[in-house]
Structure 1
Amino acid sequence: MAKAPKAEKIKTIQNKIISHGKKTFENTLIIFRDALTFIVDVVDREFDALEHLSTKEAVPAVERLIHRTKTNPHPKYDFSLKFYKFPSYFRRSAISKALGIVKSHRSNLKNWEKERDQALAEGKRFKKKPPALRIDHKAFPVFYKGNMFKRLSENQAQIKVYKNGDWVWETITFQTKNLKNRGITGWKESNPTIVKKGKKYFIHFSFSKKIKLKNTKLENQVIVAVDLGLTNSAVCSVMLSDGTVIGRKFINQPIEKDRMKSKINKLKKAQQQSGWISAPNYWRRINGLQKHIIFNTASEIIKFAEKHNADVIVFEYLGKMKMPKDYYGAKKLRHKLHHWCRIGIQNKVEQMAHYRGMRIRRVNAKNTSALAFDGSGEVKRNNKKDLATFPNGKVYHADLNASYNIGARYFIREFLKSFSEKKRLQWEAKVPSIAARTRQTLSSLISLRQALNIESVT
């Protein structure tokens, strides 16, 4: 068996600074952001000369353009004139950020140009505006160990800040309860960052670790197939490679969803009476409830997967959701989709699963809910969309039916991957239901495994 691949995972732990008020760090933040603005403008102007360089090569190249030294007395853009005694590590950090900002902008601009050219070539009108480069960014400085950050004790450190017109060392005290409770033994600590949240400042410690992902043989794999929905947040089923379902779980947050619906309705009424308003208090509560739904759903999925010692967690591809044509209640459905946390849940589960060595896979979402898992054909949903009636008269939970089909599609795809094109076509002839991915169900997997077992015996 091949060696299990490693995934480098990063976790960030925030700790509140309790020894100083906001004024201690405000000037440092302002001057760093001004420096970043200056460098972003320089990088954008000189991008043609920097485009083909790696970040390691580009940073000193930009420094030669802006930083005055004995060997470089007349740089093209005199950074030192405006930012006197600016720490070298802050300058290099700002250069790295600026390179990333400009490269991202240029990439978006190329994509826009391709989209425009394609539309014009097809004779279509193109109204989309080109992406603009933002020069001002709310970035936070990284304090490099030794030069900008010195650890004194478990909860104390010295950092270099801009104070009284000079860069000086300042001793700070911060909370450590998050560091104690997050299981960072064996993780490598990176350079910290000072982050402003509201009126408070936090020091963020990032930790990285290479984690071995499970590399179990396909025949021995245990998977958790997850169907994310609007009624239930998630419906999970544990499946073996022969199609046997050994566990099921329904995850929902009815109280939080009811509260969120109430807050959204209150916001709508306020906007109807007063026109469009920003309403930060409403949105803070709505976003807080949404965040809770994401974290709670992801946590429950991971607990369920750990309970059954799962190797893989399988989701559907859920990108842009197309509205069905001539659908009654389309406005209400569009509103539900807008507040659906499908991508947030998948991203959080992926992060948590990789910490535990589990893999994440995604399958084609088309018809997973529309087809009966027993292969009898298309189902009919009730008004609440929670029950599905099969063509043979069986009534089953719609989301649980979908989770069976999701898990089956993963196993079918992985089995067919190991075959040559000729062999795959032979199996598709023997089991016709696996030929079209959008028509595969749990019965397709069972039929394929039976056919494989018969061949292995003969």
Structure 2
Amino acid sequence: MAQATTTIRHIMSYQPHHGDWFASNQALFNQIASFYFAVIQAHIMVLDHPKKEALTILETLTHTTQRNPNPAMPLSDIAQDIPAYFRRAAIHAALGSAHSFHTHLQKWKQRKEKAIVKGKTFHERPPVPPRTWNKSVTLYQGMWKERSNKSIMIKVWTGVCWSWIKVRITGRELPSDVESGSPSLVRKGHQWWLHTPVEKQFQNPGKIATQVTTNPQTKICAIDLNINENLAVCTVQTVEGTILATKFIKGGKEISGFRKRQLGHIARNRSRTGIMAESQQDNTDLWKKIRQVDEQCAHRISARIVQFAQQHQATILVFEHLGNLKPAKGKYSRRGNSKRAYWMKGRIFTYTKYKAYTMGMLTSRVSPKNTSRECACCHHLIVRYHAGQPAEGYTSGAPLAFCPCCGMKGNADRNASLVIGQRLRERYDPQEKPQALRRVLKNTGVAVSQDAGCEEGPSILIAGHGDTNEHGTAQDALFRMDEHSSDIPHQLRFLF
């Protein structure tokens, strides 16, 4: 069995003075966590024990009881009458920070030793312990009760005493097939939220290599992310290469135009106001609107990708490994628009990854090299062009593709999606690896066939297509890339 953890967020409705109580409660929590971090630093061997044993040791060192009237570092010097569950939540927060700090410190020492052995000068500064503490308060079982879909009672420190208060919560209900963890009080700006981690158990899908090499029924959903009109193009393929379905998720022009208009407003406002203070955020509302729309778009697209893959029973999702993408040169609005479009592609991958895992699907990435230039049929270089233009050369971002070698015609983004899926199969089946891409003549921009000079011929024959509509064959050297499947969705709608 495998498990996946996610967080369900609820916004809390409370009286105005309760916000001050929550702030006092968090301040006390961080004060106690800071105290226990100092205790761990003084007794560093605590980190060598499991969590439960470390918790017992730290309580013995700090908590006053009848059996332990004189602890080495009493917590009572910091605060009196701390509830046990509140104290233990702070201990676990301190243990997590201490483990993180000492792990980074150990890695820094190893890097320094390697540099000294090689005779190099080491200028990297060592990590330092936390200077300030801003942990969210975790509410263990004894710190909350009477939870329903609309309200919850929590115990908080008001600054004077401990008090139970009832607050209303708004958000989606906790699923019935998951195990809920301890909620946390999280502050976002001036509003307090209740975050509840939930854990879902599901059948382990197995490693990708095992699925691809041992199960011929495995289905792969390959996704090509773009910044043009087709934000995502998904194709479901079998491990044998049969194409089962295609989905075009549109809305790129709409989101790009909206973002560019807001960035234009920001640029004009800055030209009127002049230089802003270094620590001051300008055009707060406009920046917030851009972030919210990008976030909504990323969540919506990732959800539709996962739904499409689940609909066709795909168990593997594969993306391009997009790394250092540089924005286009030009005016501020154009450059900023491209940069945020690249950021949104990263969000789509991140959100798709955790959403797919909760459904029992694994996510992988392949090299993006020439995925948009390679023909999915014969693996030669393709021509990209706009409608109404001659099929020659390579125009980046053009919607249509043509292969002068095998005659393939169709959508360029769908072709790239097919190549992405093929690359995952090639990773685990080297025998099916295609021949190298042909070079392009500078004067024409058309791929030229240069078959290998061996008696056996090239690794992939151009004419190797079946004469009948059998499994794994293609007719007329076309993959029907100019036809859209019936389940292509409508354009994304954004609530601006």
Letter in 2 for 1:251: I
TM-superposed CA distance for 1:401, in Å, is 2.0
Tell me whether 1:172 sits opposite 2:190 in the alignment.
no
1:247 alignment counterpart: 245
Tell me whether 1:46 sits opposite 2:43 in the alignment.
yes
Q: Residues of 2 paired with 1:259 and 1:58: CA distance?
A: 53
Q: Residues of 2 paired with 1:11 and 1:225: CA distance?
A: 27
Tell me whether 1:6 sits opposite 2:20 in the alignment.
no
Q: Residues of 1 paired with 2:97 and 2:103: CA distance?
A: 10
2:482 alignment counterpart: none
Tell me whether 1:303 sits opposite 2:299 in the alignment.
no
SS at match of 1:219: coil
TM-superposed CA distance for 1:229, in Å, is 2.5
Greater helix content? 1
Tell me whether 1:149 sits opposite 2:144 in the alignment.
yes
1:98 alignment counterpart: 94
Moved more, 368-377 or 404-413: 368-377
Deviations 1:332-365 (A, max 9, x none): 7797346422332122112222332323233333
Residue 203 of structure 2: which of 188, 191, 212 is its match? 212
Largest Rg, 1 or 2: 2
1:185 alignment counterpart: 176
2:290 alignment counterpart: 286
Q: Residues of 2 paired with 1:138 and 1:198: CA distance?
A: 13
2:191 alignment counterpart: 200
Name the count of aligned residue pairs: 417
Tell me whether 1:159 sits opposite 2:120 in the alignment.
no
Preserved CA contact (<8 Å) 2:89 2:140:
no
Tell me whether 1:336 sits opposite 2:330 in the alignment.
no
* Alpha carbons of structure 1 residues 164 and 432: separation in structure 2 relative to 1, 3 Å: closer
Letter in 2 for 1:292: Q
Taking structure 2 as the reference length, the TM-score comes to: 0.73
TM-superposed CA distance for 1:237, in Å, is 1.0
Q: What is the aligned-residue RMSD (CA, Å)?
A: 3.6
SS at match of 1:12: strand
* Alpha carbons of structure 1 residues 123 and 260: separation in structure 2 relative to 1, 3 Å: farther
Moved more, 53-62 or 363-372: 363-372
* Alpha carbons of structure 1 residues 329 and 25: separation in structure 2 relative to 1, 3 Å: closer
* Alpha carbons of structure 1 residues 434 and 378: separation in structure 2 relative to 1, 3 Å: closer
* Alpha carbons of structure 1 residues 330 and 45: separation in structure 2 relative to 1, 3 Å: farther
Preserved CA contact (<8 Å) 2:149 2:169:
no
1:401 alignment counterpart: 415
Q: Residues of 2 paired with 1:191 and 1:290: CA distance?
A: 30
Q: Residues of 1 paired with 2:427 and 2:433: CA distance?
A: 14
Preserved CA contact (<8 Å) 1:382 1:388:
no
Percent identical across equivalent pairs? 25
Preserved CA contact (<8 Å) 1:33 1:138:
yes
TM-superposed CA distance for 1:210, in Å, is 0.4
2:453 alignment counterpart: none
Letter in 1 for 2:62: I
Moved more, 122-131 or 261-270: 122-131
SS at match of 2:68: coil
Letter in 1 for 2:186: V
TM-superposed CA distance for 1:375, in Å, is 2.8
1:24 alignment counterpart: 21
1:321 alignment counterpart: 324
1:230 alignment counterpart: 227
Q: Residues of 1 paired with 2:408 and 2:15: CA distance?
A: 66
Unaligned runs of 5+ in 1: 417-423, 437-442, 448-452
Q: Residues of 1 paired with 2:131 and 2:68: CA distance?
A: 26
* Alpha carbons of structure 1 residues 386 and 435: separation in structure 2 relative to 1, 3 Å: closer
Tell me whether 1:137 sits opposite 2:128 in the alignment.
no
* Alpha carbons of structure 1 residues 266 and 311: separation in structure 2 relative to 1, 3 Å: same
Q: Residues of 1 paired with 2:115 and 2:266: CA distance?
A: 39
* Alpha carbons of structure 1 residues 400 and 137: separation in structure 2 relative to 1, 3 Å: farther
SS at match of 1:174: strand
Q: Residues of 1 paired with 2:177 and 2:56: CA distance?
A: 33
